[in-house]
Amino acid sequence: MAAVPRGVATATAIFADRADNSELWDAEGRRYVDFAGGIAVLNTGHRHAGVMAAVSAQMERYTHTAFQVVAYEPYVALAERLNALAPIEGPAKTILFTTGAEAVENAVKIARAATGRSAVIAFTGGFHGRTMLTMGLTGKALPYKHRFGPMPAEIYHAPFPIPHYGVTAEDSLKALEFIFRADAAPDRVAAIILEPVQGEGGFHVAPPEFMQALRALCDRHGILLIADEIQTGFGRTGKMFAVEHTGVKPDLITVAKSLAGGFPLAGVIGRAELMDAPEPGGLGGTYAGSPIACAAALAVLDAIAEEGLLARAEALGDRTRARLEAFEARNDLRPIAGIRGPGAMIAFDLVTSRGGREPDGAAAKLVTSRALEEGLILLSCGIHGETIRLLYPLTISDALLDEGLDRLEDALRIV
């Protein structure tokens, strides 16, 4: 594109014209089934009726005041709802922002203010954003860190437990001890941050026993545990927050993406005494917690509850897994492996041989390209680009889910 720099790469070559729930039409009038959801933003689908009505009503009242100048009820009402929903020990408070990276940056600021410490530990394969601090936290060099150095100081990475890559939960915990001995003593570490299910890293699930061990380690050393729920939150995994599958209560939770049904909104939810650590004026942002986005988010939370979308995520996931397992057994389709993910956060890997686990990133790229030709918007991810992730709305009908899976089957066909 002549007007836009190449650094903001676009996964498809189509231009959107309109969309509704799980369908999108491009500028040439071609229809697509959307299994990308704007990168996990549309758990309630494109233009959910309740969200659109709430936004329209809010736009008739006011669109912006800056919460730091004139406060408004939608912000406070949303904070109250999130405080009640989040798996936080004791009283919780919420601050709202605009983007996921902004939420992560502010979670680190809060952790540093609350602990008086500066170091932060993240994990390989994790994705936390593209700003300088969040780029440093992100556990993948290419393309996110290439030519953008030097990275911020006092950020360390431990390997994320992925058994088929030879890393167990025990290995990850040992690596943390190595960091404590070699790089940052525990009393210098403000926080450990991780995604309960890695997003860009390949939809790898943090084992419950690993999360529980992290919680115990953090408690032992006075370190805060941050759950990055930006991609996993708001019903995608069959729970409101993915960390609920583990029985662990983090100290801080970052949220964004599907929180506001397509409108820009993010936040940090945390233990009240931690959230109050920064001085007045130390947190905020001109557009942080836009009243329009807050109205949308309240409608999203209503939709999740009233439409039973947590249970729907489980049903969609079961239906999808059954179909993918049938694909895995077929010789006329490209070899796949590693079908995984809780609820409707489903992924699988393209591999070089049937029954093997050698990743095939080139094949995954071909599959996403063929899927688009078949009328299916599909995204890849993973350490080697080998993973296909399915992010259809939780409001998708069974018929449209099956249609999308039919198109995925065609994209996997060996020709």
For residue 366, the model assigns a pLDDT of: 97
Give one word for 203, left, alpha or beta, with left for phi > 0 and alpha for psi -120 to 50: left
Type of residue at 169: A
Taking the alpha carbons of 163, 164, 166, 167 in that order, is the dihedral positive or negative?
A: negative
For residue 281, the model assigns a pLDDT of: 95
Q: What is the pLDDT of residues 336-383, one digit of tens each?
A: 999 999 999 999 999 999 999 999 999 999 999 999 999 999 999 999
Measured CA to CA, the distance from residue 24 to residue 378 in angstroms comes to: 12
Q: What is the pLDDT of residues 220-232, one digit of tens each?
A: 999 999 999 999 9
- Which whole number is the average pLDDT over 155-176? 96
How many helices, marked H, and strands, marked E, lie in the chain?
12, 15
Within 13 Å, how many C-alpha atoms sit on residue 8's CB side? Answer: 5
Measured CA to CA, the distance from residue 368 to residue 135 in angstroms comes to: 26
* DSSP of 189-212: EEEEEE-SB-TTTTSPBPPHHHHH
Give one word for 289, left, alpha or beta, with left for phi > 0 and alpha for psi -120 to 50: left
Q: Is 136 helix (H, G, I), strand (E, B) or coil?
A: helix
Bridge-based pairing of strands 252-255 and 346-350 is unpaired
For residue 219, the model assigns a pLDDT of: 98
Do the Cβ atoms of 254 and 88 come closer than 8 Å? Answer: no
Q: What is the pLDDT of residues 114-127, one digit of tens each?
A: 999 999 999 999 99
For residue 149, the model assigns a pLDDT of: 87
Q: What is the pLDDT of residues 262-276, one digit of tens each?
A: 999 999 999 999 999
Q: What angle do CA 313, 341, 252 make, to 5 degrees?
A: 85
Does 142 have pLDDT greater than 90?
no
Q: What is the pLDDT of residues 51-95, one digit of tens each?
A: 999 999 999 999 999 999 999 999 999 999 999 999 999 999 999
Measured CA to CA, the distance from residue 109 to residue 112 in angstroms comes to: 5
- Which whole number is the average pLDDT over 90-113? 98
Q: What is the pLDDT of residues 183-217, one digit of tens each?
A: 999 999 999 999 999 999 999 999 999 999 999 99
For residue 415, the model assigns a pLDDT of: 84
Q: Quote the pTM value.
A: 0.97
